[in-house]
Amino acid sequence: MSDGILLAGNIFVDRLNEQGVSTGQIFGPINTTKLGIKAEADSVVRTSNKKGSKGQALDDVKIGKPTVVTWEFDDQPAEMIALALMGDVAAINDAAGTLTDEAITMPANQSWVAVPGQNFTNDVVVKQATVTLSVGVDYEFNFALGMIRAIKGGALDAGGSITVTGSYNARSGKRINGATVSQTRLRIFGEGTNLANGKQVNFEIYDTSMMPTSELDLASSEFVTAALEGTAKLVTGKKEPYYIDELDAE
């Protein structure tokens, strides 16, 4: 039977608080493109000063260093994006509403002006005094963000006062608040199959403090990938910072 390793696995992440206790937020399986575990050691060398052997090693002792964990993934639910941005996730629960003759002052330079509310329906009516203006001719309206701007050559070319009437839908979802968490502590664990020999492999990194190692490019023409790196901690009650089980094939 082959002893090579080629894993297909399901990887999960448990977000820990600052004390290393689970917050009850376990996500996965996460499509992982890299999970690197690098064991390192420092070398302490005693060198000879004796005639005929000066500079040669008399003793060389290896002392283990913290294990470096590198994790890259391209599944990007809100909770995973938050990890890559050192942030947290909050619920969006905005109520629907209406505007009735909301007074807006338009500038003369055709720049955008914010209108109260977002996620507007297409029933928006814009008036200058008592005259109803034409969308696409006199103004543009961004329904998603709730913004309006004048179109050059239209009735609002020189700016002026208008009123906006319309309704906007409720919004629900998740908001990622970036750069709110100084430390990201995770338990990374999973199970998989070694395709080379059919054996089941389980593993767990009990506690690793991680930080992003690359930017999160939201304008990328490829699928967005996040990369984190940190050190595996030795937790109370364990003699190892992580383990990998190779189970006998059934």
Mean pLDDT of the region 139-162: 97
* pLDDT, position 13: 97
Mean residue pLDDT of the chain comes to: 94
Please state, as a whole number, how many other Cβ atoms lie within 10 Å of the Cβ of residue 137: 11
Residue 135 has pLDDT above 70, yes or no: yes
Residue 245 has pLDDT above 70, yes or no: yes
Which two three-digit tokens encode residue 100? 């009735």
Share of the chain above pLDDT 70, in %: 99
Residue 3 has pLDDT above 70, yes or no: yes
**Cα angle 143-146-149, degrees, rounded to a multiple of 5:** 90
Q: Which residues make Cβ contacts (< 8 Å) with residue 174, sequence separation at least 6?
A: 78, 89, 90, 91, 92
- Model's pTM, two decimal places? 0.82
Q: How does DSSP assign the chain, residue by residue?
A: ------EEEEEEEEEE-TTS-EEEEEE----EEEEEEE--EEEEEEE--STTTTTSEEEEEEEE-PPEEEEEE----HHHHHHHTT-EEEEEEEPPEEEEEEEEEE-TT---EE-S-SSB-TT-EEEETTEEP-BTTTEEEETTTTEEEEPTTSTTTT-EEEEEEEEE--EEEEEEETT--S-EEEEEEEEEEETTT--EEEEEEEEEEEEE-S---TT-SS---EEEEEEE---TT-SSSEEEEEPPP-
Domains of the chain are 7-43+59-90+176-246 (2.30.110), 96-169 (no CATH)
- 197 vs 205: which has the higher pLDDT: 205
* pLDDT, position 1: 62
Mean pLDDT of the region 176-180: 94
Mean pLDDT of the region 54-79: 95
**CB-count burial class (<10 Å; 0-12, 13-18, 19+) for 192:** middle
Q: Determine contact, residues 246/197, Cβ cutoff 8 Å.
A: no
pLDDT band for 250, please (50, 70, 90 cuts). low
Residue with tokens 């189970």: 247
Distance, in Å, from the CA atom of 35 to the CA atom of 40, rounded to the nearest integer, reads: 16
pLDDT tens-digit map of 8-29: 999 999 999 989 999 998 999 9
* pLDDT, position 167: 98
Residue 246 has pLDDT above 80, yes or no: yes
